[in-house]
Amino acid sequence: MLDVNSVRDDFPALKNQDLIYLDNAATSMTPEPVTRELINYYHELGTSVYRGIYKRAEETTNKFEYTRRKTADFIGAESSREIVFTKNCTESLNILAYSLHHWKDRNGKILVTEMDHHSNILPWRIMAESSNRFQLEYVRVNREGQLDMEDLEAKLSSNSVALAFPAISNVIGAYNPVKKLTDLAHENGALAVVDGAQWLPHRQFNVRDYNVDFLAFSAHKMLGPTGLGILYGKEELLEQMPPPFGGGEMVRSNTKTEVTWNEVPQKFEAGTPPIAQIIAFSKTLSYLNKLGMSSIRKHVNKLTAKALRELEKIPGLKIFGPGKGEERGGLVSFNLEGVHPHDLAAALDSLDDIAIRAGLHCAQPLHEAMKLNATSRASFYVYNDEAEIDRLVDAIKEAKNVLGGEK
């Protein structure tokens, strides 16, 4: 298991602080080796990638491409050419939606789920509404917020172009059966697009084992810098896709009359990329590998299980998501009867410097399906410990007395 005290010392924002940070599903903290590498880029390199033929520019490019190779290894990709750097998971999914619109030559349905984050709904919705060739259709969830597999199988057909879904719900923490969903998509001739933003921070994801066509995730949810997303795509599919952005580096030749796109993945990386963030992300992957993804998963599971046990003892508190014994992502969403989630979050911050998330979590369709106006969410990571769960529970009880929740 992880030595949390030792881990916590690696995080400047938490060192010698009494903050209980339980908003990791939104953004994680960044360890010192990563921030040090960010600073090192600006202090020691500070140059652009690819174009320079002087030593410092070549060193920058080498570090940049080293991160690409390391990212490919981290998710089991066959080649670093299958790794596209973006600015976040949202941009990755927007690239896919745009390219699909201009690439696929047949009409059909784009399936998303009611449990999806807005970033895996709105790009497809915008694409479908701007075209008369595609129709957006939602796969239902049940009252507990979990995917309705019967509804999915009924809606998947030879007319389906893509199935886009989250590996783990960012609201209720429910795991989706990624391999089964991918196989169902492929059996119907559809592409399998996975939002891995909540999965990658806690457990290994091998793209070849799951046979996904595309995977999107963000660095800032897994101890990395902000402003960096990753899009994995099978190389043969990326080769077929048109680029959504025009600019420097993504083009091999551009005359007044003819244009030739660059090869993948540069074809999708127009303009100067987030160089510092990409180089620093290699240190993020090293840090995660040092801790061990298996150890991270066990630690987060242990914290989540304790939170479920202790929170359910609070009268008037209702927990949403998978039941006892079912594995879930490292988060617990709940409501306290008689207290609005926003008021509870503000009270926890004021009473004991506890940071949780409150609201719709960019997943309004799921809340509507579950007949909820908002939820409170506590999410856990490598620097959290069981004592913080106890303090969370005590603070909720105190907030309940202060705010006048149901007895």
Q: Is 89 a catalytic residue?
A: no
Q: Which of 38, 251, 314, 362 is an active site residue?
A: 362
Separation between Cα atoms, residue 260 and residue 72, nearest integer Å: 26
Contact between 191 and 162 (Cβ < 8 Å): yes
Round to whole Å and give the CA distance between 310 and 204. Answer: 28
The 3 state secondary structure assigned to the chain is CCCHHHHHCCCCCCCCCCCEECECCCCCCCCHHHHHHHHHHHHHHCCCCCCCCCHHHHHHHHHHHHHHHHHHHHHCCCCHHHEEEECCHHHHHHHHHHHHHHHCCCCEEEEEECCCCHHHCHHHHHHHHCCCCEEEEEECECCCCCECHHHHHHHCCCCEEEEEEECECCCCCEECCHHHHHHHHHHCCCEEEEECCCCCCCCCCCHHHHCCCEEEEEHHHCCCCCCCEEEEECHHHHHHCCCCCCCCCCEEEECCCCEEECCCCHHHCCCCCCHHHHHHHHHHHHHHHHHCHHHHHHHHHHHHHHHHHHHCCCCCEEEECCCCCCCECCEEEEEECCECHHHHHHHHHHHHCEECEEECCCCHHHHHHCCCCCEEEEECCCCCCHHHHHHHHHHHHHHHHHHCCCC
Cβ contact 69:282 at 8 Å: no
Catalytic residues: 362
